[in-house]
Amino acid sequence: MPGPKRIPVLGSMWMFLPVIGEPLDVSKVLELNQKDHEKYGPIWRTKMPGFPDIVTTVRAEDAQAIFRNETKLPQRPAFSVLQKYRQDRPQYFTSMGILGNGESWWNTRSIAQPALLKPKNVMDYIPALGEISDDFIARIRLIRPENNEMAANFVTEMYRWALESVGVVAFNTRLGCLEPNLAADSETMKMIAATNLSFSSFNELEFQLPFWKYFDTPLLRQVYEAQDFLTETAMKYTKKTLDAIKDRPEDSVDQMNILEQVLSRGLSYKETVAMVTDFLMAGIDTTSHVMAFLLYFLTRNPEKQEILRQEVLSAVGPRGSPATLQALNKMPYLKACIKESLRLTPATVGNARISEEDLVLSGYQVPSGSLVVSFHKITGVSEEQFAKPHDFIPERWIKGHPLESTHHPYAILPFGFGKRMCIGRRLAELEMWQLTIKILQNFKVEYHHEDIGCTVRLVIVPDKPLHFQFIDLP
């Protein structure tokens, strides 16, 4: 199989050494893989210290072969830094929770999944998430300068919206993220800062020589401090929920919120803390950036923004009208816009598995135990799969539309696949539906600066400030 040259001990890592190679910039993982794709073709093999052979493919047929051959307990690469942290904190954790593997992962997943993916449970949050979106609109008006253009730190406002949304679900509590004068040392802002530090540090530590596995490095100490804060915050709110359900009758499960249902179904306190901590981090750092990219694409395609606005006004109504379940069911263009945004900028660059049996990918024999990566960030903009692949065309997701796409069904899997599909998918979609509706009821959104691209810190994030203009509708 093609790929960069490998040498003993260092594998392919020699490419990033001083003098003989180029220093590794982990934020440029996407660009590095694009270069490998151009050089080696649709599939290539690399080797990094501490990892099995890594086989990366951009072919949808290979993705199908990877995911259709999954066993009962599909294995995903561990977040090694987070795994080390949780192993070093037995007073907090007994497992990696939903980010782990094996029986312990399935124990958590099988208990949490019914509560988090049941449509009725999710749709019960429509009013609460609508109120949060209304508060975010008020926040925009409060901080908006005279020229209507958001400051360079507007992404932090997106984090505040995302954390407030996930807080309602994870804790059944309004955290106050959208209050006007939050101090930098408030619990809310510290949660955001801890999450941002964790993701950027995970990215840096995972993709460099793993000295941190053997030495207490300064960056590892920062990660531990951030994770301690997030964990202790999750513990506090989980304990409140446990106290709240102690005297509840057993037949009241259907009246419980999602966290209460998970605890009442037998998930242990420590496993619940792990799940809630993961939910917080993912909820802040993925939904906020996916929403930011959607707004960006709507600004760059004002005619699509207007089509979507007309759907909003028709299905939901003018400013102040709440988005009900009945209205959401009549909004195919809204859902198509989000799908198209996720095609161009998914939350992550790809889906990965540790193969549990020998595979044949693009005609090559791939032995079990290999780390196989379906790199959908590249597949999603392939001319083989999509006409005008770099254009924002929501119509390609509308059934029966002349522009409907005929791509391979495994070309785009932004929420993963099968038993390891994103457990918060339905809630993330609902959050984005609500905020998009509220924004388009209130504003015309514009952007008049250089193009926004992507950088990577485990998840895909915008590489430019979000200088959106929010202009009041007449």
- Considering only 28-37, 253-262, 392-401, which range has the smallest mean pLDDT? 253-262
- Give the model confidence (pLDDT) of 120-157 as tens digits: 888 999 999 999 999 999 999 999 999 999 999 999 99
- Mean residue pLDDT of the chain comes to 91
Say whether 115 sits in a helix, a strand or coil. helix
Looking from the CA of 232 toward its CB, the CA atoms found within 13 Å total: 9
Beta bridge partners of 46: 54
- 459, 285 Cβ separation under 8 angstroms: yes
- Give the model confidence (pLDDT) of 271-281 as tens digits: 999 998 998 88
- 441, 312 Cβ separation under 8 angstroms: yes
**First CA to last CA distance, the chain:** 60
Report the distance separating Cα 216 and Cα 38, nearest Å.
39
- Considering only 120-124, 128-132, 413-417, 451-455, which range has the smallest mean pLDDT? 120-124
Which tokens is 365 given? 């024999």
Report the distance separating Cα 116 and Cα 344, nearest Å.
26
- Give the model confidence (pLDDT) of 58-88 as tens digits: 999 999 999 998 888 999 988 899 999 999 9
Q: In the predicted model, is pLDDT for residue 407 greater than 90? A: yes
Which tokens is 414 given? 């932004």
E strand or H helix that includes residue 186: none
Beta bridge partners of 55: 45, 372
pLDDT of residue 383: 96
Q: Residue 332, Cβ neighbours under 10 Å: how many?
A: 15
E strand or H helix that includes residue 326: helix 325-328
Report the distance separating Cα 247 and Cα 392, nearest Å.
52
Report the distance separating Cα 72 and Cα 109, nearest Å.
12
Q: In the predicted model, is pLDDT for residue 406 greater than 90? A: yes
- Helix, strand, coil percentages for the chain (3-state, nearest 5): 55, 10, 40
Domains of the chain: 13-472 (1.10.630.10)
Distance of CA 278 to the CA centre of its chain: 11
pLDDT of residue 64: 97
Distance of CA 372 to the CA centre of its chain: 20
Q: Average pLDDT of 426-430? A: 94
Instruction: Measure the CA angle with vertex 398, ends 393 and 404; round to 5°.
Output: 65
Q: Residue 307, Cβ neighbours under 10 Å: how many?
A: 16
Q: In terms of pLDDT, which residue wins out, 11 or 73? A: 73
Which tokens is 227 given? 């994770």
- Give the model confidence (pLDDT) of 175-234 as tens digits: 999 999 899 899 999 999 999 999 989 888 887 777 888 889 999 999 999 999 999 999
Q: In the predicted model, is pLDDT for residue 21 greater than 80? A: no
Q: In the predicted model, is pLDDT for residue 333 greater than 90? A: yes
